[in-house]
């Protein structure tokens, strides 16, 4: 990024609710014990009840009646960003969505269907809902968003890549405002996948959450919630040892005096703790941290943007599969 951008509004759909306060205390999030797919091992998971208010307001919308839970999480978060800024015309807003797993629930249902019923009986209704960009397509159609739309995929850190795309569009003068969203939905096969990858261990508890977050950004403006002043992305790794090096390089891009938000989960917790021993580590929420992957990336950014006591905060995005990125949030101009 060449110039800072401002966060103008945000939206949240998480198991704890739809307010920023919900992100401050994970212990208040409802959890349920869910068995791994194909097994009996139970894991605690934080899920969103789509039939409860206010997120149930989308259930009867024609395009969303049969849409995936991911679409519902996403539209709630994005709608909030627009509702908070009625002065901004949605028809002139772009959207970049970041997804780690995409429409997992419908993909699993579709694949199970063709496996059990036969390929000829695969569901033509479910298949389009398995496509990665379908949720964002529903959202822009329903909310009347008229700017460019990209769906990006990657690990947790791909939200930073999406943010970079949004900054590029703003920098190029193509568009004034872009919503950068991250969203994930839960499906029990995730538990089996992460268990097989040894992300659940006694040393580092790991609790999966679902939901979405979105921030509306634009050119730097004095009435913003906060500014994004620096992005470091593209610190890649294949092994956990390489991840340590990538983390050092990534965080080395930022002023050593800038406090760093504690965002690490699973195996990255230990890596982060050792990497950040010489820096001021700030925890912005209470209770066992839940990982909503790209959604968490946005939630952490929103939390950092709302801290009145810190003029600057570095928010690391530990993409636990391939890439580490970080974003500097500044409130200096706004205090």
d(CA 325, CA 254): 11
Q: Tell me the DSSP string of 258-298.
A: S-EE----TTHHHHHHHHTTTS-EE--SBSSPEE-THHHHH
Longest pairwise C-alpha distance within the chain: 62
Question: Which 39-58 residues touch another protein, going by CB under 8 A?
Answer: 39
Is 134 a residue that touches another protein (CB under 8 A)? yes
d(CA 225, CA 121): 51
Strand duo 93-99 + 149-153: pairing: parallel
Among 76, 185, 210, 233, binds another protein (CB under 8 A): 233
Among 50, 114, 248, 288, binds another protein (CB under 8 A): 114
d(CA 64, CA 59): 6
Is 118 a residue that touches another protein (CB under 8 A)? yes
Question: Which 2-21 residues touch another protein, going by CB under 8 A?
Answer: 2
Is 146 a residue that touches another protein (CB under 8 A)? yes
Is 84 a residue that touches another protein (CB under 8 A)? no
Distance of closest approach, residue 167 Cβ to another protein, in angstroms = 8
The nearer residue to another protein, 18 or 151, going by C-beta atoms, is: 151
The nearer residue to another protein, 116 or 277, going by C-beta atoms, is: 116
Among 33, 86, 119, 257, binds another protein (CB under 8 A): 119
Closest CA to 107 of 133, 92, 128: 128
Among 173, 202, 223, 308, binds another protein (CB under 8 A): 173
Among 28, 59, 92, 240, binds another protein (CB under 8 A): 92
Of 192-200, 204-212, 270-278, 306-314: span binding another protein (CB under 8 A): 192-200
Among 11, 16, 17, 147, binds another protein (CB under 8 A): 147
Is 261 a residue that touches another protein (CB under 8 A)? no
The nearer residue to another protein, 303 or 314, going by C-beta atoms, is: 314
Of 194-202, 204-212, 263-271, 308-316: span binding another protein (CB under 8 A): 194-202
Cβ-based burial of 4 (10 A; exposed 0-12, middle 13-18, buried ≥19): middle
Question: Which 305-324 residues touch another protein, going by CB under 8 A?
Answer: 319, 321-323
- For 67-106, letters b (16+ CB in 10 Å) and e give bbbbbbbbbbbbbbbbeeeeebebeebbbbbbbbbbbbbb
d(CA 241, CA 335): 40
CB 21 within 8 A of CB 281: no
Among 5, 140, 183, 216, binds another protein (CB under 8 A): 140
């Amino acid at each position: 990024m060449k110039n800072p951008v401002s966060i103008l509004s945000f939206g949240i759909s998480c198991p704890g609710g739809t307010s920023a306060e919900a992100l401050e205390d994970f212990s208040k999030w409802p959890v349920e014990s869910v068995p791994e797919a194909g097994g009996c091992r139970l894991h605690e998971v934080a899920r969103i009840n789509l039939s409860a208010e206010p997120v149930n307001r989308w259930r009867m919308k024609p395009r969303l009646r049969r849409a995936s839970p991911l679409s519902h999480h996403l539209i709630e978060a994005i709608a909030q960003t627009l509702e908070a800024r009625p002065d901004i015309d949605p028809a002139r807003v772009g959207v970049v969505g970041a997804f780690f797993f995409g429409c997992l629930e419908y993909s699993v249902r579709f694949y199970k269907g063709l496996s059990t019923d036969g390929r000829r009986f695969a569901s033509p209704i479910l298949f389009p809902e398995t496509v990665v960009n379908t949720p964002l397509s529903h959202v822009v159609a329903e909310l009347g968003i008229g700017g460019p739309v990209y769906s990006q995929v990657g690990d947790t850190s791909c939200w930073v890549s999406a943010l970079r795309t949004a900054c590029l569009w703003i920098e190029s003068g193509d568009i004034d405002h872009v919503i950068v969203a991250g969203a994930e939905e839960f499906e029990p096969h995730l538990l089996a996948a992460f268990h097989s990858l040894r992300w659940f261990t006694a040393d580092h508890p790991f609790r999966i959450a679902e939901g979405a977050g979105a921030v509306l950004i634009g050119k730097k403006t004095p009435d913003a919630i906060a500014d994004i002043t620096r992005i470091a992305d593209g610190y890649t790794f294949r092994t956990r040892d390489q991840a340590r090096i990538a983390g050092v390089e990534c965080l080395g891009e930022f002023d050593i005096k800038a406090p760093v938000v504690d965002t690490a989960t699973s195996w990255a917790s230990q890596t982060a703790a050792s990497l950040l021993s010489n820096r001021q580590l700030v925890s912005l929420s209470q209770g066992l941290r839940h990982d909503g992957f790209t959604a968490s990336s946005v939630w952490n950014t929103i939390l950092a943007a709302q801290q009145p006591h810190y003029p600057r905060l570095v928010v690391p995005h530990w993409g636990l599969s391939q890439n580490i990125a970080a974003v500097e949030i500044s409130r200096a101009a706004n205090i």
